[in-house]
Chains A and B, each alone.
Chain A
Amino acid sequence: DVKVTQSSRYLVKRTGEKVFLECVQDMDHENMFWYRQDPGLGLRLIYFSYDVKMKEKGDIPEGYSVSREKKERFSLILESASTNQTSMYLCASSWDTYYGYTFGSGTRLTVV
Chain B
Amino acid sequence: KQEVTQIPAALSVPEGENLVLNCSFTDSAIYNLQWFRQDPGKGLTSLLLIQSSQREQTSGRLNASLDKSSGRSTLYIAASQPGDSATYLCAVRLYNNNDMRFGAGTRLTVKP
By a beta-carbon cutoff of 8 Å, the part of chain A in contact with chain B is 6, 31, 33, 40, 42-43, 45, 48, 50, 56, 58, 88, 90, 92, 97-106, 108
Residue of B nearest to A31 (CB): B98
Is the pair B46, A102 in contact by a Cβ cutoff of 8 Å? Answer: yes
Which residues in B have their C-beta under 8 angstroms from that of A97? 31-32, 93, 98
Q: Give which listed residue, B34, B43, B91, contacts A105 with CB less than 8 A.
A: B43
- Complex: A42 Cα to B6 Cα, angstroms: 11
Listed in ascending order, the chain B residues whose CB lies under 8 Å from chain A are: 31-32, 34, 36, 41-46, 49, 51, 89, 91, 93, 97-100, 102-105
Name B34's closest neighbour in chain A (CB-CB): A100
Chain A: CB-nearest residue to B45? A103
Bound Cα distance from A65 to B32, whole angstroms: 28
Identify whether the interface residues of B are mostly helix, strand, loop, or mixed. Answer: strand
B78 CB to nearest A CB, Å:
22
Please indicate the chain A residues that have their CB under 8 angstroms from the CB of B42 in the complex.
105-106
Distance in Å from the Cβ of B55 to the closest Cβ of chain A?
A: 17
CB pair A98 B41 closer than 8 Å: no
Given contacts A97-B31, A101-B34, A101-B91, contact A43 B102 (CB under 8 A): yes
Q: Which residues of B contact A50 (CB under 8 A)?
A: 98
Q: How far is the CB of B22 from chain A (nearest CB, A)?
A: 16
8 sample A-B contacts, Cβ–Cβ < 8 Å, listed by A number: A42-B104, A48-B98, A92-B44, A100-B93, A101-B46, A105-B43, A106-B42, A108-B41
